[in-house]
Structures are given as C-alpha cells and as structure tokens.
Amino acid sequence: INKCWYGLITTNRNKFVLGPSGSGKSFFMNHLVRQYYEQGTHVVLVDTGNSYQGLCEMIRRKTNGADGVYFTYTEEKPISFNPFYTDDYVFDVEKKDSIKTLLLTLWKSEDDKVTKTESGELGSAVNAYIECIRADRSIIPSFNTFYEYMRDDYRRELAEREIKVEKSDFNIDNMLTTMRQYYRGGRYDFLLNSTENIDLLGKRFIVFEIDSIKENRELFPVVTIIIMEAFINKMRRLKGVRKQLIVEEAWKALSSANMAEYLRYMYKTVRKYYGEAIVVTQEVDDIISSPVVKESIINNSDCKILLDQRKYMNKFDAIQSLLGLTEKEKSQILSINMANNPSRLYKEVWIGLGGTQSAVYATEVSAEEYLAYTTEETEKVEVYRLAEQLGGDIEAAIRQLAERRRNK
C-alpha cells in the first residue's frame, strides 16, 4: 500500500473487511498487519483459523521471543482473566459499564431481552461491590468475591428495601444460579478469577486463537469480551501509540442485541485512545441479517475493504445497500480480478474511505511473504516440517523454500 493511501487508511481508522473463502482475505490481512506492525503499531488479533500463525512465529523469532505471542485456547490451557482487576482501584464509568455488560452476557442467552430494571440493578451491584473492595482491601477483587457479595449482601439489601423489586423485574436467584458455573468449584471457575492478568502492555503482536470454542455458545462470547477488555485496558494505559484490534469471525459472538451497547462502548473507547478496530468476515448472510452489525460495526467503520465478490453476485444488491456503496464503487468492486495480468501472481482488493475515495489495488508479495502468510494446509506443513529439520528456524525454512520455488 503506497504511503499516500497508508496515511488515508490510518486516519480513517476503523475498518470492515469482507471477502469470501479463497478471495485472498487472509493474505491481504497478513500483509496489512505486517505493515502496521513495522510502523510501530501494537496489534491484538482474535482469530478462529490459525491465519496469522506464520507471521506471529516470524515476529517471535525476529525478536528472540520478546514479541509475537500466540495464545491458543485449549481445555488444558484456557485463557483466563480478572475483570475486576485494576492497578489502582480506579474504575471509570466505561470500565463499570463494561463489567456490567460482561455480567449480563454470563447471565442471559443471546435471545433473552435485558430489561431496564435488570440492567440498572446489575449496574448498582457493580458500583456497590467496587465501593466495598475499595473500603476493605483484604477482599481480593475477582468474580468469586463479586458472586459472594451478590449472594449475601446485595440479595439481603434487596429483600429489605422499602420499595420491593419483583422477581419478574429482577430475579437475583435465577442470576446466581446461572452464574454459578463461573464461581469457585463451577466448571468455568478458571475463567474470571485469574490471579495473574494477561499482560498485553509490553508486547506489540499478540494473537488469540479461539477456534476450539467457536461452537460453544456459553464460552465463545465471554472469552471474546475478555480479550477485548484486555485490549481496552492496554489502550487506556498506552498513550500516544497506535493500537489495533482485529476480530476475525469471532465478531459473531458479539452480534446479539444484548451486545449492541458493548460494541458502541468499544468503538467509542477505541476512537478516544488512538486505537482502531478491524472486523474481518466471509459470512455475508450473517452480516446482511444482523441489525447489530449494521448499527454497531459497519456504521462505525469509515474504511471498507472488499475482496473478490463473485461468489456473492446474487446477494450483491443487499451488500451494496448495507454498506451504502455508490454505483461507481459497485462497478469498481465487480471489476476485481477480472483482467489480471497472467504473468504475475496477485489478487485484487477494493479499498473505500468514507465515500470520498476508493480504488482497486493488487496484493502482490514476494515468495518469502507468500510462504509466511499462506493458509494452505499442504504449504504450511511443508514450511513447518523444514523448520523442524532446521532446529525450529521458520525464517531459514521460508528462505530455502522460496529459493527452491524461484529456481523451478
């Protein structure tokens, strides 16, 4: 991407990327992310398909392990977090709101409507618990002690109120029963009671691979929010440096109506702290059918990036309407890969900036970059097999394989 366009892309910060499988989406994203990283950006990726494994490993080796961190969610090594942890016991309004949203996500399924009373009571409970841990520093801030506070103190206070709160308005017993699995002894008790926080501050390139839980309707949204919260904490503390959060298909965990408020908060916070959010997807039906995606994600993304849309030709009118594309932009997008130079290996991509500028570009990379970015299983196996023979040196393996390809 030339300097002029890079400048424009980085001022129109939030991005929405749409490309079907096989359109070169992962390639383009690897290429974009690498350029951001090389220009000093702190990058956090939430992925569900190992698309950034090669690039992350390259960065790890280049920095001798100081950077390029790859977290893979497994049952043996789950990602855990403490939403109530702060260095200084300072909880601003946004932090309190994000805790409340996380708690509502633990309690309600995505189809359940959250009432004003439920949201208000949970917000009050979070406030009261924070006052409690500030006053008594022997209470360790964690989900465990919050749960105990709700079960013992807040429930009693609720029962003693002059104006009674009906169970139909706020059923605290139902909430405690549902959240029991995240409390000490429950099956997910590790998730929100971490004694050590995810340290994202010093690392500039971090990938969270959560493919193994993408079908788990309970864990998937919670873990996604946990990672985004960790990113937001990083953003607040890291002044004057560009921060980038890239959410691949994991955005689906946030597309329920209950998440709309959280997404608005996230985008507002990102803008405030010199950050950017990039949502990447290939699921066109999901975005067309979700009002939350339109209102909370697309409307907050000045920069739209589309790859080859031929697979979606019969749905393109809906895509055009959703993204607010002009006829000129539509014809640019539908020209992608229609007249490529057969002697060169590249795929085209359309970049549009807030309706003011747009053009089609080619993503053309060296043989070395190709091998670092590829998501083709046979090619990845070849790279990692050779790296193993070379004592784990993935860079040397890529150089050798690239040289072989050039000499063919």
Please report, in tens digits, the pLDDT of each residue of the chain (408 residues total): 555 455 555 566 899 999 998 898 988 999 999 999 999 999 999 998 889 998 998 899 889 888 999 999 888 888 888 889 887 888 888 788 889 988 998 898 877 888 899 999 999 999 999 999 999 999 999 999 999 999 999 999 999 999 988 888 999 999 999 999 999 999 999 999 987 766 677 899 999 999 998 888 888 888 888 888 888 888 888 888 999 999 988 777 777 777 777 788 788 888 888 899 999 998 888 788 888 888 888 888 989 999 999 999 999 999 999 999 999 999 999 999 998 888 888 899 999 997 788 999 998 888 899 899 888 889 989 998 999 899 888 889 999 999 998 887
Is 315 within 8 Å of 284 (Cβ atoms)? yes
Looking at the fold, whether 125 and 75 belong to one and the same domain comes out as no
Question: Are residues 318 and 170 part of one domain?
Answer: no
Query: Any idea what DSSP says for residue 81?
Result: -
The answer to whether residue 263 sits within a structural domain is yes
Whole-model pTM: value is 0.85
Distances from the Cα of 223 to the Cαs of 78, 202, 403, in angstroms? 9, 21, 41
Task: Kindly state whether residue 36 falls inside one of the protein's structural domains.
Answer: yes
In a domain, 5, yes or no: no
If asked whether residues 234 and 312 sit together in one domain, one would say yes
Residues 34 and 101 in one domain: no
Pairing of strands 357-363, 205-209: unpaired
Co-location of 206 and 269 in the same domain? yes
Q: Specify if 158 maps to a domain.
A: yes
Asked whether residue 174 falls in the same domain as residue 205, the answer is: no
Domain annotation covers residue 128: yes
Residues 220 and 312 in one domain: yes
Boundary of a domain, candidates 299, 324, 349: 324
In terms of domains, do 144 and 223 share one?
no
Range of the domain at 375: 368-407
Counting the structural domains of the chain, the total is 3
Contact 303, 13 (CB under 8 A): yes
Residues 385 and 152: their CA atoms lie apart, in Å, by 56
Residue 214 and residue 73 in one domain: yes
How high is the pLDDT of residue 328? 94
335 inside domain: no
Q: How confident is the model at residue 197, as a pLDDT? A: 63
Q: Are residues 206 and 317 in the same domain?
A: yes
Whole-number Å distance between alpha carbons of 86 and 70: 24
The two structure tokens encoding residue 167 = 């169970």
Cα separation of 207 and 113, whole Å?
A: 33
